[in-house]
Structure 1
Amino acid sequence: MTTPASPLHTLARSEKPIGVGIIGLSEHGGWAERAHLPALRALPEYELRALSTSSKESAERSGHRHGVPRTFGTAAELAACDEVDLVVVAVKAPHHHELVQAALDAGKGVLCEWPLGTGPAEAESLARQARDRAVPTVAGLQARSHPALAYARDLVADGYVGEVLSTTVVGSGGGWGSTVTPRLHYVLDAANGVTMLTIPFGHTLDGVASVLGEPEDLRIRAVTRRTSLLDTETGRTVPTTAPDQVVASGRLPGGAVAAFHYRGGTSRGTNFRWEINGTEGDLVLTAPVGHLQLVPITLEGGRGESTGLAPLPVPERYVRVLQLDARADAEAYAVAHAYRHFLDDLREGTSTVPDFAHGAARRRGIESALAAGDR
Structure 2
Amino acid sequence: MDPIGVGVIGGSTSGWASLAHLPAIAAAPAFELRAISTTRRSSAEAASAKYGVPGYAGHQDLIAHPGVDLVVVSVKVTEHRELISAALAAGKMVYSEWPLGAGSAEAEDLAAQAERAGVRTVIGLQGRYAPEVRYARELIRDGYVGDVLGTTVVGSGMVWSGEVPTHGQAYWFDKANGASPLTSPTLHALDPLHFVLGEFDAVAANLVVGRKQARVAEDGTIVPVTVADQVSVIGTLTGGAAASVFYRGGTSRGENFRWEINGTEGDLVITSAWGNMQVAGLTLTGGRGGETSAAPLAVPASYTGDVPAELAGTPAANVARLYAALAGDLAGNTRTVPDFAHALERHRLIDAVERASATGISQDRRTEAAA
What corresponds to 2:162 in structure 1?
178
1:61 Cα offset (Å) = 2.4
Greater Cα offset, 100-109 or 68-77: 68-77
CA deviation string 1:230-273 (max 9, x = no partner): 22222332221111100000111110000011111111112110
SS of structure 1 residue aligned to 2:95:
strand
Q: Which TM-score applies when normalising by structure 1?
A: 0.92
Q: After superposition, where does 1:1-375 map in structure 2 within 5 Å?
A: 15-27=1-13, 29-64=14-49, 66-182=50-166, 183-319=168-304, 320-327=306-313, 329=314, 331-375=315-359
Greater Cα offset, 261-270 or 276-285: 261-270
Aligned residues: 357
1:68 Cα offset (Å) = 3.0
Q: Indicate the RMSD between aligned Cα atoms, in angstroms.
A: 1.3
1:16 Cα offset (Å) = 1.8
1:74 Cα offset (Å) = 2.2
Runs of 4 or more above 6 Å deviation: none
SS of structure 1 residue aligned to 2:253:
coil
Aligned counterparts of 2:205 and 2:5: Cα–Cα separation in 1 = 40
The answer on whether the counterparts of 2:9 and 2:37 sit within 8 Å (CA) in structure 1 is: yes
Aligned counterparts of 1:349 and 1:293: Cα–Cα separation in 2 = 26
What corresponds to 1:7 in structure 2?
none
SS of structure 2 residue aligned to 1:374:
helix
The answer on whether the counterparts of 1:228 and 1:238 sit within 8 Å (CA) in structure 2 is: yes
What corresponds to 1:9 in structure 2?
none
SS of structure 1 residue aligned to 2:228:
coil
The answer on whether the counterparts of 1:145 and 1:338 sit within 8 Å (CA) in structure 2 is: yes
Aligned counterparts of 1:353 and 1:110: Cα–Cα separation in 2 = 12
1:90 Cα offset (Å) = 0.3
Aligned counterparts of 1:99 and 1:60: Cα–Cα separation in 2 = 20
The answer on whether the counterparts of 1:324 and 1:333 sit within 8 Å (CA) in structure 2 is: no
Aligned counterparts of 1:347 and 1:258: Cα–Cα separation in 2 = 37
The answer on whether the counterparts of 1:145 and 1:353 sit within 8 Å (CA) in structure 2 is: no
CA deviation string 1:185-212 (max 9, x = no partner): 0111110000111110011111111111
The answer on whether the counterparts of 1:150 and 1:211 sit within 8 Å (CA) in structure 2 is: yes
1:350 Cα offset (Å) = 2.8
Q: Which letter maps to 1:239?
A: P
The answer on whether the counterparts of 2:255 and 2:272 sit within 8 Å (CA) in structure 1 is: no
1:218 Cα offset (Å) = 1.5
SS of structure 2 residue aligned to 1:262:
strand
Aligned counterparts of 2:178 and 2:220: Cα–Cα separation in 1 = 26
Aligned counterparts of 1:276 and 1:33: Cα–Cα separation in 2 = 34
Aligned counterparts of 1:206 and 1:213: Cα–Cα separation in 2 = 10
The answer on whether the counterparts of 1:219 and 1:372 sit within 8 Å (CA) in structure 2 is: yes
Distance 1:297 1:87, change over 3 A: same
Q: Which letter maps to 2:345?
A: A
Aligned counterparts of 1:323 and 1:75: Cα–Cα separation in 2 = 33
Aligned counterparts of 1:361 and 1:68: Cα–Cα separation in 2 = 38
The answer on whether the counterparts of 1:42 and 1:323 sit within 8 Å (CA) in structure 2 is: no
1:221 Cα offset (Å) = 1.9
Aligned counterparts of 1:67 and 1:372: Cα–Cα separation in 2 = 46
The answer on whether the counterparts of 2:149 and 2:242 sit within 8 Å (CA) in structure 1 is: yes
Aligned counterparts of 2:253 and 2:169: Cα–Cα separation in 1 = 23
SS of structure 2 residue aligned to 1:48:
strand
What corresponds to 1:6 in structure 2?
none
SS of structure 2 residue aligned to 1:115:
coil
CA deviation string 1:118-172 (max 9, x = no partner): 1101111111010111100001111111121111111111111000000000001
Aligned counterparts of 1:56 and 1:270: Cα–Cα separation in 2 = 42
Aligned counterparts of 2:274 and 2:200: Cα–Cα separation in 1 = 23
CA deviation string 1:314-345 (max 9, x = no partner): 21112321334432x1x111111111111112
The answer on whether the counterparts of 1:296 and 1:326 sit within 8 Å (CA) in structure 2 is: no
CA deviation string 1:295-318 (max 9, x = no partner): 101111111111111111221112
The answer on whether the counterparts of 2:274 and 2:281 sit within 8 Å (CA) in structure 1 is: no
The answer on whether the counterparts of 1:286 and 1:297 sit within 8 Å (CA) in structure 2 is: yes
1:217 Cα offset (Å) = 0.7
Aligned counterparts of 1:363 and 1:220: Cα–Cα separation in 2 = 15
